[in-house]
Structure 1
Amino acid sequence: MTRRPSPLLVDGVAVAMALLDVWAHWDIDEPLRMACALAAAVALLLRRPQPLLTFLLTLPAVLLSDAVFACLAALYTLASCNRPRALLVVCALAFAVSDTTSLPSPELDLTRTPTLIALGYSAATAAAAVFLGQLVRTRRDLSLRLAEISEARDHQQLLTAQAVLAKERAQLAREMHDVVSHQVSLIAVRAGALQVGAGDPDTREAAATIRRLSVQTLDELRHMVGVLRASSGHPTELTPQPALSDIQRLADNSGIRTELRMALPEGLPPTVQRAVYRTVQEALTNTRKHAPGATAHIDLSHADGAVRVRVTNTAPTQPPLPLPGAHHGLLGLRQRAELLGGTMTSGPTGDGGYELCVVLPAQDTG
Structure 2
Amino acid sequence: MKRIPPAIWADAVFLLIAIADAAINLDPDDPGGNLSMALACAALIVRRRWSFVVFLLTLPAALFSAGTAAPLIALYTFASLTRRRPMLVGCVIAFAVCNALPWPPPPFLASEGFETVVTLAYAAAFAVAPALLGQFVQARRDLSAQLAEISQAQEHQRMLTTQTVLAKERAQLAREMHDVVSHQVSLIAVRAGALQVRTRDEETKEAATTIRQLAVNTLDELRHMVTVLRASGSLQTELTPQPTLGELRQLIANSGIETALNADLPDDVSKPVQRAIYRTVQEALTNVRKHAPGASATVDIRAEDGDIRLTVTNSAPTRPTLSLPGAGHGLLGLRERAELLGGEISSGPTAADGFQVRLRLPYQ
**TM-score category (smaller protein):** 0.5 to 0.7
Give the match for residue 8 of structure 1. Answer: 8
**Shift in CA distance, 126/155, structure 1 to aligned 2, threshold 3 Å:** same
Give the match for residue 92 of structure 1. Answer: 92
Give the match for residue 265 of structure 1. Answer: none
Tell me, yes or no, if the aligned pair for 1:63 and 1:99 is still in contact at 8 Å: yes
| Superposed counterparts of 1:1-366, under 5 Å | 6-106=6-106, 112-234=113-235
- After TM superposition, give the deviation of residue 26 of structure 1 in Å: 1.6
- After TM superposition, give the deviation of residue 83 of structure 1 in Å: 2.8
Distance 2:164 2:65 in 1: 68
- After TM superposition, give the deviation of residue 61 of structure 1 in Å: 0.7
**Shift in CA distance, 48/222, structure 1 to aligned 2, threshold 3 Å:** same
Distance 2:124 2:237 in 1: 62
Bigger radius of gyration: 2
Distance 1:4 1:76 in 2: 23
Tell me, yes or no, if the aligned pair for 1:40 and 1:57 is still in contact at 8 Å: yes
Structure 1 segments, 4+ long, off by >2 Å, are 104-111
**Shift in CA distance, 116/146, structure 1 to aligned 2, threshold 3 Å:** same
Tell me, yes or no, if the aligned pair for 2:80 and 2:135 is still in contact at 8 Å: yes
For structure 2, the 5+ residue unaligned runs are: 239-364
Distance 1:10 1:176 in 2: 64
- After TM superposition, give the deviation of residue 54 of structure 1 in Å: 0.3
- 1:243-298, CA deviations, whole angstroms, 9 ceiling, x for partnerless residues? xxxxxxxxxxxxxxxxxxxxxxxxxxxxxxxxxxxxxxxxxxxxxxxxxxxxxxxx
Count of residues in Structure 1 that have an aligned counterpart in Structure 2? 235
Distance 1:77 1:109 in 2: 37
**In angstroms, what is the RMSD of aligned CA positions?**
2.0
Distance 1:12 1:148 in 2: 31
- After TM superposition, give the deviation of residue 84 of structure 1 in Å: 1.0
Distance 1:214 1:44 in 2: 81
- After TM superposition, give the deviation of residue 235 of structure 1 in Å: 5.5
- After TM superposition, give the deviation of residue 105 of structure 1 in Å: 4.3
Tell me, yes or no, if the aligned pair for 1:101 and 1:107 is still in contact at 8 Å: no
Distance 1:45 1:107 in 2: 37
Tell me, yes or no, if the aligned pair for 1:79 and 1:130 is still in contact at 8 Å: yes
- After TM superposition, give the deviation of residue 67 of structure 1 in Å: 0.4
Q: Secondary structure at the match of 1:233?
A: coil
- 1:71-108, CA deviations, whole angstroms, 9 ceiling, x for partnerless residues? 11111111111331110111111111111121234556
TM-score, length-normalised on structure 1? 0.61
- % identity of equivalent residues: 54
Distance 1:18 1:32 in 2: 17
Give the match for residue 258 of structure 2. Answer: none
Tell me, yes or no, if the aligned pair for 2:51 and 2:74 is still in contact at 8 Å: yes
Tell me, yes or no, if the aligned pair for 2:47 and 2:74 is still in contact at 8 Å: yes
- 1:218-241, CA deviations, whole angstroms, 9 ceiling, x for partnerless residues? 00110111111111522679xxxx
